[in-house]
Chains A and B, each alone.
Chain A
Amino acid sequence: MITGVVLGAALVVSLVASASIGQFHASPADVLGSLWNGLIHGVDPGRSQVDGVLWSIRFPRAVLAALIGASLAVAGAVMQGVFANPLAEPSIIGVNAGASVGAAIVFVFGFSQTAVWSLPLAAFVGAVGTAFAVWGLSRVGGAASVLTLILTGIAVNAVAVAVTSLLIFMGDRSSREQVVFWQLGSLAGARWVDVGTTAAVFACGFVACLVIRRQIDVLALGDAAASSTGVSVERLRFGALVLVSVLTAAAVAFAGVIAFVGLIVPHALRLAVGPSHRHLVPLSALGGAVLLSIADVAARTVVPFADLPIGIFTAVVGGPLFLVMLRRTLSGYRLGR
């Protein structure tokens, strides 16, 4: 409860900060005033220069960062729950590698010039398609065990990375650059239509995750015990993986690959509020939103006049942080089953 209030307050502060900080400076009062005017009198980016910058650039970017962070963190929490493993990450089932394949196809074959939505759509389809391929292949010969799922994921990931490499090899110089930069992840150029699409997917996925969160807890007992307790393990795990892949796919579709959010946020919150998904799933949404908002501000401001790819930033900060947390808490967990 306290953690929820703290995270909620942190989210408000980080969103306002995200909107005010940048090359064009707007004070927090400007931000709140513009927000108020927009809500009362309707949005008009032409009203003033402040309104213009905020409503067409800063606000969509800040909200998209929060939504993507929330999606990635919820997906990570659910992923770790259904694998009963604190080191599980959505990328295990190939979502990031699959999204990269979709994005690379669009860049290399020049579809991005034909239609603006072709890139997010291709990334989304690539991500979800790869996740289903991993699931389907791991089920050969009966139910998918966690181990076969992970090993299948490694194989499918390798193939997807190879396909992306091949596409980069086939592409011209500009499309190569586009693929590489897309894979680094960026929130630059966020539009309201991106925000709306991500918000819709997140809302549906998040509600579904809330519904299954209590059953996810029981998977910590192991598949056989969870089943004898009354949980349909196969069906739950399949449903959860669909949610994880859709949430992650929607996140990477607009911003490219952003690593470690799905790993760090649930892990840190588990230390604060315990492992029960009853709390972990909703708090991960808040925590992920806060983390990515702050990371986006940092990505925009750490190097003057440069918009660092946010994926680099989350990985550079997240990797070492994860190692520290890992060393401190490893003794409390079982890593395999």
Chain B
Amino acid sequence: MPALEVTGATVEVGGSTILDEADLTLESGEVTIVIGPNGAGKSTLLGVAAGERRPRAGTVRIGGVDLAGLSVTQLAKRRAVMPQDTTVAFPFTVREVVAMGRTVWNDRAGAEDAVAMDALETIGLTSFADRSITTLSGGETQLVAFARVIAQVTPVGESSVVLLDEPTAAMDVAHAEATLVTARLLASQGAAVGIVLHDLDAAAAYADRLVLLHRGRVRSTGAVGEVCVESLLSEVYGSPIEVYDHAGDIRVAPRRRFEPA
């Protein structure tokens, strides 16, 4: 039984179909990465999986249970979500923001702080603990949001579901790689991890399974080698994309041609 399963999800907004009978399966211990061009419906699909967005048709099951029958708190105990918008309205300290991930667990104050600090340590940000979140850069704020998600799913196990919507969008290379390595670490501890990502090369490197969305439909899904096909990616993105082997790894990069006139 998959940790999370979206079947036939259809979402319409203002008469246009954003998501058209899309499926998404997240298995425990695996990282599944959703790729696709802008407007393909990636974030919508993740939103449906998270229960934030109710599809017009289709079902979402989390641990075999229909998500529609779960309360906000029951859901929060089963899955954590990192949104695209990670800004925080008031100047809370980083430590306080991460501890907000524990809201649903009703820890005692000391225990809550300990989990928050552990999560900060996992992403290497303990030195930021007492800084105000509003003084951080966009990439750093994203890191803190990731720590908050880790705090929410602690202790990580077979039933944990982690959903990340473009977690590395504002991060530099080092932070982005560290974030995706940590996502893999969570999977190795049993979590089912679903990520929306624009960086195709990183997706190919870190995913167990890829889902390629195009115009609201799942165009291709499977192991990295099955989805990362030059002709398929080039057609879906409408831009030439190269897939090549580098020391046994699959690498993906846009074909760059710049010819001076």
Contacts and interface: CB of A to CB of B under 8 A. Distances in A.
Query: Does A associate with B in a complex?
Result: yes
Interface of A: 84-86, 214-215, 217-222, 224-225, 227-232, 270, 274-276, 332-334, 337
Nearest to A227: B72
A228 B90 contact: no
A232 B80 CA distance: 15
Contacts of B96: 217, 274, 276
Interface stretch (B28-36, B97-105, B206-214, B238-246): B97-105
A275 B100 CA distance: 13
Given A218-B103, A221-B100, A228-B50, A332 B91 contact: yes
A337 B89 contact: yes
Given A228-B83, A230-B103, A220 B76 contact: no
A14 B90 CA distance: 31
A334 B89 contact: yes
Given A224-B83, A225-B81, A228-B80, A218 B89 contact: no
A50 to B, nearest CB: 47
Given A215-B103, A218-B103, A334-B87, A229 B93 contact: no
Interface of B: 50-52, 71-73, 75-77, 79-81, 83, 85-93, 96-97, 100-101, 103-104, 132, 134-135, 145, 148, 152
Contacts of A275: 90-92
Interchain residue pairs A-B with the least CB separation, the first 7: A230-B76, A230-B104, A275-B90, A84-B89, A228-B81, A220-B89, A230-B73
Given A224-B52, A333-B134, A218 B90 contact: no
B52 A274 contact: no
Contact of B90 (A84, A224, A225, A229): A84
A231 B72 contact: yes
8 contacts: A218-B103, A220-B88, A222-B87, A224-B81, A228-B76, A228-B79, A230-B103, A231-B72
Contacts of A337: 87, 89
A222 B75 CA distance: 18
